């Protein structure tokens, strides 16, 4: 590097992807349907591992931690991921059963943030997830140590960047049995004027 780190970093291009058409007023009422649409679109646009995400947790002292992992499943029950109970994330989730999961799909200029309480799946589901792994990946995992967890989202944000900086942000917030949906585009933040409720 023949310049300062700050100069080198400033010279890196950002938001170089190409955003697909998006009509925030006509997205699905449920975040799950929009998530499935966005992750498949990311895969079709060439994202090699669209199911890789950053999971953030907090430790017993309230200090944040984050690491990359793989989304194992997603349905009405939540966004599922797996790992060992004895890992840092396992200990942190035992102390603070809440997390945030962040996806970034560069070619389509899109990111998704999922946050909420975390629930441990049944021991049968955790065992089934472990059994589905390769023999090499199963080796060394102690009995009962493998856990499937689900983030039960309280808030999901779908963010799409724009080269003119008129970024779009669609936010679903859990409201009773349904979702509140709001969105904003660039400076034209019409949040509030466009809040919609679904049940
Ligand atoms: C692409 C990728 C996928 C990964 N998938 C997982 C996973 O599904 N589960 C897991 O426990 N760790 C996975 N890891 C490893 C974690 O990032 C991390 O190193 C490990 O889980 C230990 O984290 P912890 O000490 O914070 O618990 C993955 C790493 C990468 C780079």
CATH of residue 99: 2.30.110.10
In short, whether 68's Cβ falls inside 6 Å of ligand 1 is: yes
Closest alpha carbon to 179 in 143, 151, 155: 155
Distance in angstroms (rounded) separating the CA atoms of residues 22 and 168: 9
How far, in Å, CA of 199 to CA of 197, rounded? 7
What three-state secondary structure class fits 174? strand
pLDDT of residue 165: 83
Count the Cβ atoms, other than its own, within 10 Å of residue 79: 27
Cα of 68 to ligand 1 centre, how many Å? 5
Q: Report yes or no on 187 lying in a domain.
A: no
Give residues with Cβ within 8 angstroms of 46, minimum separation 6: 107
Q: Cα 103 to chain center, whole Å? A: 5
Q: Considering its fold, how many domains does the chain have in total? A: 1
CA of residue 138 relative to chain centroid, distance: 25
The pick from 55, 64, 68 for probing ligand 1's pocket by mutation, whose C-beta has the most ligand atoms within 8 angstroms, reads 68
Domain assignment present for 131:
yes
CA separation for the pair 66, 112 (Å, rounded): 16
pLDDT at residue 153 in the model: 98
List CB contacts of 198: < 8 A, sequence separation 6 or more.
Answer: 29, 30, 178, 179, 181
Atom of ligand 1 nearest to the CA of 72: 8
Which ligand 1 atom is at minimum distance from the Cα of 82? 9
Ligand 1 atom closest to residue 84's alpha carbon, by position in its atom list: 11
Spatial separation of the C-alpha atoms in residues 181 and 160, rounded to whole Å: 16
The answer to whether position 181 is within a domain reads no
Is 83 close to ligand 1, i.e. is its CB under 6 Å away? yes
Tell me what pLDDT residue 186 has: 80
Does residue 183 fall inside a structural domain? no
Instruction: Of 114, 179, 177, 175, give the one whose Cα is nearest residue 149.
Output: 114
Measured in Å, how far apart are the chain's first and last C-alpha atoms?
54
**Containing domain of residue 86, as a range?**
23-166
Q: Give just the sign of the alpha carbon dihedral 62, 181, 102, 126.
A: positive
Name the residue of 53, 83, 118 whose CB sits within 8 Å of the most ligand 1 atoms, as the mutation to test its pocket. Answer: 83
Q: List the pLDDT tens digit at each of the 199 positions of the chain.
A: 899 999 999 999 999 999 999 999 999 999 999 999 999 999 999 999 999 999 999 999 999 999 999 999 999 999 999 999 999 999 999 999 999 999 999 999 999 999 999 999 999 999 999 999 999 999 999 989 999 999 999 999 999 999 888 899 999 999 999 999 999 998 544 444 445 555 5
In a domain, 180, yes or no: no
What are the C-alpha distances in Å from 121 to residues 82, 127, 134? 10, 10, 21
Residue 174 lies in a domain: no
Is residue 199 situated within a structural domain? Answer: no
Cβ of 99: how many Cβ atoms within 10 Å? 23
Give domain status of residue 109, yes or no: yes
């Amino acid at each position: 590097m023949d310049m300062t780190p700050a100069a080198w970093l400033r010279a890196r291009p950002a938001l170089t992807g190409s955003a697909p058409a998006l009509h925030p007023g006509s997205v699905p009422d449920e975040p799950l349907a929009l998530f499935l649409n966005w992750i498949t679109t990311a895969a079709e646009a060439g994202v090699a591992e669209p199911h890789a995400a950053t999971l953030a947790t907090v430790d017993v002292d309230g200090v944040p931690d984050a690491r990359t992992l793989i989304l194992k499943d997603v349905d009405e029950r939540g966004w599922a991921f797996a790992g060992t109970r004895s890992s840092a994330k396992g200990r942190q989730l035992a102390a603070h059963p809440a997390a945030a999961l962040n996806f970034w799909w560069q070619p389509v200029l899109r990111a998704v943030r999922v946050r909420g309480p975390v629930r441990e799946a049944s021991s049968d589901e955790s065992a089934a997830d472990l059994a589905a792994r390769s023999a090499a990946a199963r080796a060394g995992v102690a009995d009962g140590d493998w856990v499937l967890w689900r983030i039960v989202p309280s808030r999901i944000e779908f963010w799409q960047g724009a080269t003119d900086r008129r970024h779009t942000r669609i936010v679903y917030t859990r409201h009773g049995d349904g979702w509140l949906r709001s969105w904003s585009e660039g400076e034209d933040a019409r949040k509030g004027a466009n809040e919609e409720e679904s049940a």
